[in-house]
Chain A
Amino acid sequence: MGPVSNGADVSASMISALFRQHHGDLVRLAVLLVGDQPTAEDVVQDVYASVHARWTKLPARDSGLSYVRAAVLNRCRSVLRRRGVASRVSLSFRAAEETLASAEHEAMLCEDRRRVLQALALLPCRRREVLVLRYYLDLSEAEIAEILGISPGTVKSTAARGLAALARALGEQS
Chain B
Amino acid sequence: MTRTEERLRDALLTAASRVQDDALRPLAAPGRRIPEYAPRAASRRRTWLPPLAAAASVALIAIAVVAVAGYLQHRNNAPAPTSPAAGPPRYYATLEGNNRTNLEEVIVRATATGAVVTRVPDPVSPLPRGTGTAAPPSSTATPNPNASLMQPLDIATTDDRTFYVVYGIQTVTGYGDLVIESFRLSNAGQPSPLIQVNGGQLSGQGTTRAGGSWVNPRIGGFAVSPDNGKIALALKASSSSTTSDEILVIDTRTGSHAVWRGGLDRPNAAFAILGLSWTSDGRSLAFLAQWCSPPQRAFSNTGSDVCGGATRSAQVRELDTTSAGGSLSSARLLLAQSARYPYIARALISPDGTSLTAILLSGPVPPGTGLGPNAPERLSVVRISVGTGTVTATFFQGVDPVSVWSTLTADSSGRYLMLTHTDVSLRSDDTRYAVGWIDAGHFRQLPLNPDGQPVAW
Which A residues lie at the B interface, using CB under 8 A?
Answer: 1-3, 7, 12, 16, 19-20, 23-24, 27-29, 31-32, 34-58, 70-71, 74-75, 77-88, 90-100, 105, 108-109, 112-114, 116-120, 122-125, 131-132, 135-136, 149, 163, 165-170, 172, 174
Which of B15, B57, B212 gathers the greatest number of chain A CB atoms within 10 Å? B212
Are B211 and A99 closer than 8 Å at their CB atoms? yes
**Interface assignment of B284: CB less than 8 Å from any CB of chain A:** no
Residues A95 and B430 in contact in the complex (CB < 8 Å), given A53-B50, A53-B54: no
Are A38 and B431 closer than 8 Å at their CB atoms? no
How far apart sit A122 and B142, CA to CA, in the bound complex (Å)? 9
With CB as the reference atom, state the residue of chain A lying closest to B175: A84
How far apart sit A27 and B27, CA to CA, in the bound complex (Å)? 11
| Proximity bits, B48-59, A CB within 8 Å = 1, else 0 | 101101110110
Which residues of chain B from 80 to 121 have any CB-CB distance to chain A below 8 Å in the complex?
A: 97, 99-104
Q: What count of chain B residues pass the 8 Å CB interface test?
A: 82
**Interface assignment of B36: CB less than 8 Å from any CB of chain A:** no
User: Does more than half of chain B's interface fall in helix, strand or loop, or is it mixed?
Assistant: loop
How far apart sit A88 and B15, CA to CA, in the bound complex (Å)? 17
**Which 3 pairs across A and B sit closest by C-beta, in order of nearness?**
A49-B54, A53-B372, A81-B97
Are A113 and B10 closer than 8 Å at their CB atoms? yes
Which B residues lie at the A interface, using CB under 8 A?
Answer: 2-5, 7-21, 24-25, 27-30, 48, 50-51, 53-55, 57-58, 97, 99-104, 134-143, 151, 168, 170, 172, 209-214, 216, 299-303, 370-372, 374-375, 401-402, 424, 426-431, 451, 453
Residue in A49, A91, A131 whose beta carbon sits within 8 Å of that of B135 in the complex: A91
Residues A174 and B4 in contact in the complex (CB < 8 Å), given A37-B211, A49-B28, A122-B136: yes
- Expressed in whole angstroms, the minimum distance between the Cβ of B174 and any Cβ of chain A is 9
7 sample A-B contacts, Cβ–Cβ < 8 Å, listed by A number: A24-B21, A54-B371, A55-B372, A71-B429, A75-B430, A116-B10, A167-B4
With CB as the reference atom, state the residue of chain A lying closest to B208: A95
Q: Residues of A contacting B24 with CB < 8 Å?
A: 23-24, 27, 41
Are B140 and A54 closer than 8 Å at their CB atoms? no
